[in-house]
């Protein structure tokens, strides 16, 4: 009976990761809530969401599936398949990062062009061209998101290099499961942000 109870306990590192993801979720929920409250007050510039974000969404969703297959292959000790899936996840993760960078660069350039040309995307109201708060909210959210993404890519690189070690002495999947959980969290977080930006553009 005691052994059964022990098996149900959450690994301490997994528990810490879940706490970290919960705190990150609360931070982004607070930022997006503040975004909507400030937008409702007026003096807000709208934007057109770059199409690169759609492509990046497809890339990270596929990468979550390859990560799931990779974890499954590792637990089954199918190392060639595991390495293939982890390699695919890393490539898709890097592609996602590149598309995200390109998308936010286009968005920044778009907002700058609006300011330079004296054109306002939100034609429903008069918006001041200098110091608009929409840019601050947008790029604070983007900056935090990219920071978390960099952490995820570094974790994927660590898993990738470990996967290609010649000698595998243990098949303990705890570390891999923690990285996978974080990567799936990034996937869910970006889908939330993507829908949020799409609705509020």
Instruction: Compute the mean pLDDT over every residue in the chain, rounded to the nearest whole number.
Output: 81
Closest alpha carbon to 193 in 180, 67, 64, 185? 185
What pLDDT score does 126 carry?
Answer: 39
How far is Cα of residue 191 from the mean position of the Cα atoms in its chain? 8
Q: Which residue has the tokens 């492509």?
A: 55
Domains observed in the chain? 62-201 (1.20.120.80)
CA distance 106 to 179: 30
Each residue's pLDDT tens digit, 156-198: 999 999 888 766 666 778 889 999 999 999 999 999 999 988 8
Q: pTM here?
A: 0.80
Tell whether the model's pLDDT for residue 101 goes beyond 80.
yes
Q: With cut-offs at 50, 70 and 90, classify the pLDDT of residue 128.
A: very low
Q: Which two tokens stand for residue 134?
A: 């929409």
pLDDT in tens, 43-61: 666 778 899 999 999 999 9
Average pLDDT over residues 33-42: 77
Model pLDDT, residue 94: 97
pLDDT, one tens digit per residue, over 75-94 is: 998 999 999 999 999 999 99
Q: Report the distance separating Cα 201 and Cα 196, nearest Å.
A: 9
């Amino acid at each position: 009976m005691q052994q059964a109870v022990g098996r149900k306990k959450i690994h301490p590192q997994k528990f810490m990761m879940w706490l970290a993801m919960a705190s990150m979720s609360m931070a982004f929920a607070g930022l997006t809530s503040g975004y909507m409250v400030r937008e409702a007050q007026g003096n807000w510039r709208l934007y057109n969401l770059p199409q690169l974000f759609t492509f990046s969404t497809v890339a990270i969703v596929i990468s979550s599936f390859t990560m799931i297959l990779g974890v499954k292959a590792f637990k089954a000790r199918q190392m060639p398949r595991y390495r293939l899936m982890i390699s695919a996840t890393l490539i898709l993760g890097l592609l996602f990062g590149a598309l995200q960078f390109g998308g936010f660069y286009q968005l920044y350039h778009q907002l700058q062009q609006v300011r330079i040309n004296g054109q306002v995307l939100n034609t429903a109201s008069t918006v001041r061209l200098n110091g608009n708060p929409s840019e601050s909210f947008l790029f604070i959210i983007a900056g935090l998101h990219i920071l978390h993404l960099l952490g995820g890519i570094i974790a994927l690189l660590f898993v990738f290099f470990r996967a290609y070690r010649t000698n595998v002495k243990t098949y303990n999947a705890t570390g891999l499961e923690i990285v996978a959980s974080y990567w799936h969290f990034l996937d869910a977080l970006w889908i939330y942000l993507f829908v949020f930006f799409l609705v509020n553009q």
